[in-house]
Amino acid sequence: MKKIQFFLILIIILICCLAGYYFFFLDKVSPDIKILNGRYIGGHNNALSVVVTDDRSLIKKVDILIKQNKKEKNIVFKDNNSTRVEYKINLKEMGFSDGKLSICISAWDRSLNNFGTGNIKQIEKEFILDTTPPSIYVKTHRHNLKIGGSGVAGYFVSEPVKKTGIEVGGYLFPAYKYNKEDYICFFSIPYWIQDRKITPWIVAIDYAGNTQKIPLNAYIKKTKFPSTSINISDKFLITKMAQFQNEYPSLKPLEIFLKVNRELRKKNREKLKEIGLETEPKILFKGAFLRLPNSARKEAFGVRRSYFYKGEKIDEQTHLGIDLASIARAEVPAANSGKVVFAGWFGIYGNTVIIDHGFGVQSLYGHLSYLGVKKGQFVNKGDIIGRTGASGLAGGDHLHFGILISGIPVDPVEWWDKNWIKNNIIYNLKTLSRE
């Protein structure tokens, strides 16, 4: 009798232990399967990327089944001894062709759950295999640019693309849809380019990541940018650096000047690239751009400036707009029609207005004493948007006028010239149909 009782207690303890093990220690969680590709598989390695992980147990087996029409291939990976496995499978090498396919992945772990078979996870997803880069056909022919100048190109791309534009000197000028089939791209041979033999490349990357790159036939003229010297006086430092004292509270005026002229200038130029993307996908400008009426040019585009303080050279920067001086507090007209994308304080440029004219073309009005427009407002060519001044890094009352293409400053002179616009912009736009 005592023996039976002893065994009963032993069995109960054993059952409790097993139940305890089952509830508290046994891994009942399935492995996690991740397919790293988006909807498209392709790009430079054409690989399906799969990662299987398990928090607690080792992964026992992964089964990958790929189906396309009547073709079916099954790959089984066994005897893994890891909690994380990664596979890259080249579907093209396996004989699959571009188009839809479905992928079913099953994974088992080494847990004793399910009577020893382990936890299982299964996923099934549809993908598009795309291993063909898009084709590009250039439709415009006239691409005569000077270094620091502007141009436009139109081209056809054979399939929908994630990213396209013209790359020059490491900068990609984005292109925009112009009509049902064509892209349009305003671009520049940026002012920092030294060699007129540089090639602008049209780049198109499809949703699978396949990249096409073709050279754009362009005739590029060299530009000689002049140099000037600027003497920084104590009066300039004391009166002008007060505007930036809040940003650099512990620095002396000369130190503030160097920070502003180097770091803030750089920061402002980066910000221009961001604003350059805030653009309407249509042409808002019409004809030549307006120049500040009755004004004299005080500084040209691209001038290399050397800054001197007490006879010593302290800095060097490039002037990337045109300085125009009229009477003090002169009315500033919008150079062309467009949408105000910035109106406010803009570092070295002081009180500034930026107008978007579509497809990345923008005009900038710096050092204003008064802002007459607000962000988001549409303006017509000639509308008064503010008054000239000397805010920001300006010695005296003048307008710093800039033209930007996707945030890169270009020489505004071309945009004031109605013949240049007609021959280089309008002429090319006419070769693209508008549907």
Which residue ranges make up the site for Zn ion (CB under 5 A)? 321, 323, 400
3-state secondary structure 344-406: EECHHHCEEEEEECCCCEEEEEEEECEECCCCCCEECCCCEEEECECCCCCCCCEEEEEEEEC
Rounded to the nearest whole angstrom, what is the least distance from the CB of residue 323 to Zn ion in the complex? 4
In the bound state with Zn ion, the residue whose beta carbon lies nearer, of 184 and 292, is 292
Sign for the CA dihedral angle at 398, 417, 266, 225 comes to: negative
Rounded to the nearest whole angstrom, what is the least distance from the CB of residue 140 to Zn ion in the complex? 32
Rounded to the nearest whole angstrom, what is the least distance from the CB of residue 221 to Zn ion in the complex? 24
Compute, in degrees rounded to 10, the torsion defined by CA atoms 188, 193, 196, 198.
Answer: -80
Of 272, 270, 242, 269, which is closest to residue 257 (Cα–Cα)? 242
In the bound state with Zn ion, the residue whose beta carbon lies nearer, of 200 and 333, is 333
In the bound state with Zn ion, the residue whose beta carbon lies nearer, of 318 and 377, is 318
Rounded to the nearest whole angstrom, what is the least distance from the CB of residue 352 to Zn ion in the complex? 11
Cβ neighbours of residue 236 closer than 8 Å, sequence gap 6 or more: 395
In the bound state with Zn ion, the residue whose beta carbon lies nearer, of 174 and 412, is 412
H/E run at residue 75: strand 71-78
In the bound state with Zn ion, the residue whose beta carbon lies nearer, of 158 and 223, is 223
Rounded to the nearest whole angstrom, what is the least distance from the CB of residue 319 to Zn ion in the complex? 6
> Are 102 and 87 contacting, i.e. CB atoms less than 8 angstroms apart?
no
Rounded to the nearest whole angstrom, what is the least distance from the CB of residue 318 to Zn ion in the complex? 11
Strand 303-309 to strand 227-231: parallel, antiparallel, or no bridges (unpaired)?
A: parallel
Q: Residue 351 has which token pair?
A: 């009180």
Position with the least CB separation from Zn ion? 400
Rounded to the nearest whole angstrom, what is the least distance from the CB of residue 236 to Zn ion in the complex? 15
In the bound state with Zn ion, the residue whose beta carbon lies nearer, of 146 and 400, is 400
DSSP letter (8 states) at residue 316: E
Query: Given the structure tokens 């000047």, which residue do they identify?
Result: 257
Cβ neighbours of residue 276 closer than 8 Å, sequence gap 6 or more: 360, 362, 404, 405, 406, 407, 408
In the bound state with Zn ion, the residue whose beta carbon lies nearer, of 323 and 411, is 323
